[in-house]
Chains A and B, each alone.
Chain A
Amino acid sequence: MSEQDQFRELIEGYAIGALDPNERTALEAHLSEGCPECAKALEEARLLVSQLAYLAPPAEPSEMLKARLLRTVRAESAPAKITEMKSSGRSIPLWLWAGVAALFFLSLYSSWDARKLQNTVQDMKAREAAELKQREQLNQELTLAKHEAWILTDPNSKKIDIMPNDKAMPVLEAVWHPQMGIYITGQKMPMPKGNKVLQLWLIPKAPGSKPMPSHTFWPDANGKITEMVDDPPEVMAQTKALAITEEPAGGSQQPTSTPIWVGGVS
């Protein structure tokens, strides 16, 4: 028997896995040398051996086995599909990308437009607030002007000249209406020195009564005074005179200096 025949006789035993280690090693060495006959014989023998599976008695696996397998396989295939969608540009059509891009820019524009609209609304609100404030101020000025006009023209009003102690100082004028208050005006008034303010006092007629404190005020930059006192602390009939002193900022409850201006009421 040739060496080739000896190897050939081992092929079926090798295919079924029954060779002992020394024979197996020898045959594998022979096969690795590239013997075409033995390689072909082995291929056929392997196929033949696989047919022996039909000798097994028929048996049926449980349905649970299939369910377990499919659950695992589906779980493993899901990430692959996601990855495929992410990595493959062709899996997402161009029109869909275009749609996404359009949606993105539409969202961007909507956001910008909303922001712009919001700013416009805020500007309108600020403008409306400013106009409202201005209107209130005008209303106040109008009301004051009406009061002034009423006080100045009403026959019940009394004109009071408030004379300075220093002849170099200007004369102030007050018009007192019994119900609407005292309206004081003056020109070329000097600005109080330091942190001082001018304060109006009502000197009661009652003997021994203390001066009654009223408004504090300043001349404007042009030295002009227009002060409306709509809540005098005493009625005109009980007041002997009006006096103006210089007082610390915030005013005083009692005069801290000699009056610079004094005007008799009665």
Chain B
Amino acid sequence: MTSKYGDDASADAKLVDRFLRRDVSAFEEIYDRHCRMVYSLVVRIVQQAPTAEEVVQDVFLHLWRNAGQYQSARGPFVPWLLTLARNRALDHLRLKSERQRRREDQTEDMPAIAQAPEYEKALDQKRRAERVRSLMGTLSAPQKKAIEMAYFEGLSHSEIANALQEPLGTVKSWIRNGLLRLKEGLQTAS
């Protein structure tokens, strides 16, 4: 993928507008553009390919049936889609658990739409992925591990602290500082 993020976002917005009008070909194009990224995220979270396919199917059907909840004027499509996919995958992991109850209290069914900062608009998806991996590689192993446990496993600060046998405050700092470092790195890359 070589186009700029802004072009990608504009193309996505047009496709979403089309499948809002029940255009199946637009839906197919959206799927072809983003299914690999969504599937990669979901299978990383649920750890099983068949389950991942169920969740991805659920995500795209939810998108098809509730596309009106996404408003292109309020932000780019891909982060919104990835947040939706992550929430669905984590919900699958949390069935009948305390963590599920906590997650349901916190997370809306459809994610909020965020305006893209300038650094986001300057990178295409491939370069952004490479940059994110590169920046995460600069973090300490425990810091990276804490962030991944929070993001891919949906664990809370306390749960991560217990799992890593580290103080709660340390885990909170790892996660926050790691995310801020990631943000700074992406801004520098732009």
Return chain B residues, CB-CB under 8 Å to A44: 114, 117, 183
Question: A47 touches which one: B24, B102, B116, B175 (CB < 8 A)?
Answer: B116
The main secondary structure of chain A at its interface with chain B is: helix
**CA separation between A21 and B103, bound complex, in Å?**
10
Taking a contact as CB atoms under 8 Å apart, the answer to whether A53 and B186 are in contact is: no
Among A45, A53, A66, A70, chain B packs the most CB atoms within 10 A around the CB of A53
What is the size, in residues, of chain A's interface with B at 8 Å between Cβ atoms? 45
Q: How far is the CA of A61 from the CA of B175 in the complex (A)?
A: 30
How far, in whole Å, are A124 and B116 apart by their CA atoms in the complex? 88
B52: chain A residues at CB < 8 Å are: 59, 61
| CB contact list, A25-72 vs B, under 8 A | 43-62, 64-66, 68-70, 72
Q: Which of A16, A60, A62 contacts B175 (CB 8 A)?
A: A16
User: CB within 8 A of B160: which of A18, A45, A59, A80?
Assistant: A18
Whether B57 contacts A56 by the Cβ 8 Å rule is no
Alpha-carbon separation in the docked complex, A76 to B28 (Å): 14
A5 within 8 A of B: no
B133 touches A54 (CB 8 A): yes
Minimum C-beta distance from A70 to chain B (A):
6
Most buried by B among A65, A72, A76: A65
**CB-defined interface of B87-115 with A at 8 Å, one 1/0 digit per residue?**
00010000000000011011100011011
State the CA gap A80–B22 with chains docked (Å). Answer: 8
With a CB–CB cut-off of 8 A, which chain B residues contact A74?
A: 24
Q: Is A12 an interface residue (CB 8 A)?
A: yes
* Residue A81 is within 8 A (CB to CB) of chain B in the complex: yes
A221 in contact (CB, < 8 A): no
Show 20 residue pairs from A and B whose CB-CB distance is below 8 angstroms, ordered by the A residue: A13-B175, A16-B147, A17-B107, A20-B157, A24-B102, A46-B79, A50-B78, A50-B86, A50-B114, A51-B128, A52-B136, A52-B147, A55-B132, A58-B40, A65-B35, A66-B32, A69-B57, A73-B24, A73-B61, A81-B22
Q: Chain A interface (Cβ within 8 Å of chain B)?
A: 9, 12-21, 24, 43-62, 64-66, 68-70, 72-74, 76-77, 80-81
Chain B positions within 8 Å of A, measured between CB atoms, are 22, 24, 27-28, 31-32, 35-37, 39-41, 43-44, 49, 52-53, 56-57, 60-61, 64-65, 75, 78-80, 82-83, 85-86, 90, 102-103, 105-107, 111-112, 114-117, 120, 128-129, 132-133, 136, 147-148, 150-152, 154-158, 160, 172, 175-176, 179-180, 182-183, 186
